[in-house]
Chain A
Amino acid sequence: MPIEVLMPALSPTMTEGKLSNWLKKEGDAVKAGDVLAEIETDKATMEVEAVDEGTLGKILVAAGTEGVAVNTPIAILLEEGESASDAKPAPKAAEPSPAKEEAEAEAPKAAAAPAAPKASVPASDEDRYFASTRTQTVREALRDAMAEEMRLDKKVFLMGEEVAQYQGAYKVSQGLLDEFGAKRVIDTPITEQGFAGLATGAAFKKLRPIVEFMTFNFAMQAIDQILNSAAKTLYMSGGQMGCPIVFRGPNGAASRVGAQHSQCYASWYAHCPGLKVVAPWSAADAKGLLKSAIRDDNPIIFLENELLYGQSFEVPESEEFVVPIGKAKIVRAGSDVTIVAFSIMVGRALQAAEKLAEQGIEAEVIDLRTIRPLDTETIINSVKKTNRLVSCEEGWPYAGIGSELAALMMEECFDHLDAPVKRVSGADVPLPYAANLEKMALPQADHIIEAAKAVCYR
């Protein structure tokens, strides 16, 4: 039986990749362990090795093909005595993996982002920049934000694990070393507390560091420096020691990486005076907010999301485009229920809103964008109109952002509420590894639909 060589998944979040190059050609003898091809994933260029012995009978996907889904047959390996004609015609594409399905469902059509609203979304100062846009991934937008700010201000530098020579563990810092050199794009040892503290000291001395944590899970090693040194020193020094620093990196669940690598830190950092906490969803906001964060004179926690890195959105061409910290965005206008979300949950909230519309419920979706300081005005004004609020977050419910929103409703909107606030959140458990359990533990669009219907008494 000829053996199908399948497009491999080479990272936890990879759903498709580019077949960059074949290193063997048809007819070549192959031993197990031989490198067959090079594949570009969402994170890196990887080599695909043969696991069986044989002859490379047929190449099914040509070098240079982009967007090859995981599990698509890419070649046929023949055992002794077989010929290429023995091979069945390859299927067009393999069944998409569940991850792929979700990613597609989540990814809004680039041209439509931020989701074309039915009712009118209020105009804002940011709108004029959207006259001229380009389609970009969140990853590219973040890189451009850093590059543009580094060009403007020599005091800005990037430091973290694998940010320089490796081009970023998630490729966010791709190309920055080439442009800015090793002085300003600095690979650190794997010592989060040490380099977070070092960067904080540099910020006290008026440099403007961007500290990349490979993920925010590892920033727990550094949380003493972030809170006790970076966040509190301005106050403790009577205003003398400002700390202009950005701590950024992916936050929240990725895909099947288990409890220690899947956690949302929004409420942890939002708890603390002295910090600003930002968590964008779209590429435009990622870029505009990161630029604002780098220019800000305060310590900023900038929470990204690994699953969003590869998603594309329309991003203004202008380098002048910045998004103010502390301003939420109504991404879909509606009159029946207010759905508040941030980061990856915005995509799910928009999906939910579309389904709700089919059932006659018009949801207003607010992307918080900044978690602290919270844009209470936008939320309150929306609830005064809809009289209902559903909060969405990937993190745990206990003392979460949803709890804060519920308190805000009690304090500021009590007389406007027609139903108790509903919180949609991650399950109150360490995130499990098993695919089915993980899915159960993370909030999905269906949970939001259910909550929205409940507050509408439907």
Chain B
Amino acid sequence: MASVSAKSKAAASPAAKRAGKPAATKAAPKNSTSKAASPQELKHFYREMLLIRRFEEKAGQLYGMGLIGGFCHLYIGQEAVVVGMQAAIGEGDSVVTSYRDHGHMLATGMESRGVMAELTGRSGGYSRGKGGSMHMFSREKNFYGGHGIVGAQVPIGTGIAFANQYEGNDRVCLTYMGDGAVNQGQVYESFNMAALWKLPVVYVIENNQYGMGTSVQRAAAGRDLAERGYAYGIPGEVVDGMNVLTVKAAAEKAVAYARAGKGPYILEMKTYRYRGHSMSDPAKYRSKEEVNKMRQERDPIDNVRKMLMDAGITEDDLKVIDRDVKDIVTDAADFAQSSPEPDPSELWTDILVEA
């Protein structure tokens, strides 16, 4: 009978109410954008998203030139997610994510130079060239990586939240994962413990529709991924991840919930990556039309651009930002090519903390 009572309990929770009507795979869920954003704020979002986009385009170029090796997973198309989420957290809050991590690092305020130089494997990189695209960290910015094993960052983010609770501060940890990770067992082990101990963690599922080449429909049973925490009593919400304002509004709610000690919260961001899974992915599992349609109709940067124009910001104003961003990225790329390779002695350092 235990299962019956659990079910009825869940039905009474706000989480289950949200589950009511499955939105399933329909794009553009309707979310509130709470209050209208100021032109100031919109400009900030525009700049942040554009920086990520231009940075990633440059990374793609450098990859093509053979300056970046290995895996390189670009974030182009998904910029509204990290920029919106970041707007809802503050000093001391932490971020951890998977290997599609360049955007997250830039959003936390990590330097473009250091990130790009890590991509080129140079001593000026955040991990001094020893981590690469998937493994960068910044204690200063509370960015905890950069993890290459699908789903492995989820227990880690849960543990960061555990540490916050243990230390008695009110900080939260944003723990990002992709739609592919959501099928990993350790994600549910984490959901269970986070809900059991009411840990201050917000799980952000970046549903970009494809886990490498497999669409969500072919990989994930059930309805919205946001519902994956319902069995544990974790509220979940589907969010239009192509709109930075809806992301921010949802993030504020989720972060406030976690910060208040009510436990974890799940946000499923419906988003889209324009590029392949990694640089070596030709993305033949979807049509050009699908990608083009998304770019033309839903692009997060174009969205904000329109909002800014509507608010009376001129093309010239935006050009200033465009130029500024371009300069930052050019400078980062120059630095990433001129920074020396790590000294051979680096091979043997940082294996263990020396007493």
**Contact for A201 among B158, B167, B189, B192, CB less than 8 A:** B158
Which chain A residues lie closer than 8 Å to B189 at the CB level? 189, 191, 193-195
Q: Is the CB of A207 within 8 A of B166?
A: yes
Known: A204-B160, A224-B149, A228-B149. A194 touches B130 (CB 8 A): no
**Contact for B352 among A195, A202, A276, CB less than 8 A:** A276
A413: shortest Cβ distance to chain B, in Å?
24
Binds A, one of B59-67, B78-86, B121-129, B312-320: B121-129
Measured CA separation A244–B159 after assembly (Å): 13
Q: Is the CB of B137 within 8 A of A228?
A: no
Q: Is the CB of B350 within 8 A of A193?
A: no
Known: A189-B196, A193-B189. A237 touches B159 (CB 8 A): no
Closest chain A residue, CB of each to CB of B186: A193
**Contact for B193 among A188, A204, A207, A274, CB less than 8 A:** A188
Which chain A residues lie closer than 8 Å to B166 at the CB level? 157, 183, 202, 207
Q: Is the CB of A201 within 8 A of B156?
A: yes
A85 beta carbon closer than 8 Å to chain B:
no
Which chain A residues lie closer than 8 Å to B160 at the CB level? 201-202, 204-205
Closest chain B residue, CB of each to CB of A243: B353
Q: Is the CB of B352 within 8 A of A298?
A: yes
A19: shortest Cβ distance to chain B, in Å?
38
A436 beta carbon closer than 8 Å to chain B:
no
Q: Is the CB of B155 within 8 A of A205?
A: no
Measured CA separation A195–B146 after assembly (Å): 20
Which chain B residues lie closer than 8 Å to A228 at the CB level? 147-149, 152
Which chain A residues lie closer than 8 Å to B132 at the CB level? 236
A220 beta carbon closer than 8 Å to chain B:
no
Measured CA separation A273–B119 after assembly (Å): 24
Residue of A195, A205, A233 contacting most chain B CB atoms (<10 Å)? A205
Interface flags, A344-366, vs B, CB<8A=1, else 0: 00000000000000000000000
Which chain A residues lie closer than 8 Å to B154 at the CB level? 197
B96 beta carbon closer than 8 Å to chain A:
yes
A200 beta carbon closer than 8 Å to chain B:
yes
Measured CA separation A312–B166 after assembly (Å): 36
**Contact for A194 among B144, B193, B351, CB less than 8 A:** B193
Known: A229-B156, A241-B137, A298-B353. A198 touches B193 (CB 8 A): yes
Measured CA separation A62–B249 after assembly (Å): 71
A234 beta carbon closer than 8 Å to chain B:
yes
A199 beta carbon closer than 8 Å to chain B:
yes
Q: Which residues of B, 137-173, contact A by the 8 Å Cβ criterion?
A: 137-139, 144-149, 152, 154-164, 166-167
B94 beta carbon closer than 8 Å to chain A:
yes
Q: How many residues of A contact B (CB 8 A)?
A: 41
Q: Is the CB of B163 within 8 A of A207?
A: yes
Q: Is the CB of A202 within 8 A of B185?
A: no
Measured CA separation A234–B130 after assembly (Å): 10
Q: Is the CB of A202 within 8 A of B163?
A: yes
Q: Which residues of B, 306-338, contact A by the 8 Å Cβ criterion?
A: none
Which chain A residues lie closer than 8 Å to B147 at the CB level? 228-229
Measured CA separation A238–B138 after assembly (Å): 10
A206 beta carbon closer than 8 Å to chain B:
yes
Which chain A residues lie closer than 8 Å to B138 at the CB level? 240
Q: 5 tightest CB-CB pairs across the interface, nearest first? A: A201-B159, A197-B155, A194-B189, A205-B163, A201-B156
Which residue numbers of B lie inside 8 Å of A, CB to CB? 94, 96, 125-132, 135-139, 144-149, 152, 154-164, 166-167, 185-186, 189-190, 192-193, 196, 349-353, 355
New A-B pairs, 15, CB < 8 Å, besides A194-B190, A238-B126: A189-B193, A201-B155, A204-B160, A205-B94, A205-B160, A205-B163, A225-B156, A229-B147, A233-B137, A233-B145, A234-B351, A238-B128, A240-B127, A241-B144, A298-B352
14 A-B pairs in the complex with CB atoms less than 8 angstroms apart? A183-B166, A193-B189, A198-B155, A201-B159, A201-B161, A202-B166, A205-B160, A224-B152, A225-B155, A233-B137, A235-B351, A238-B127, A239-B350, A241-B144
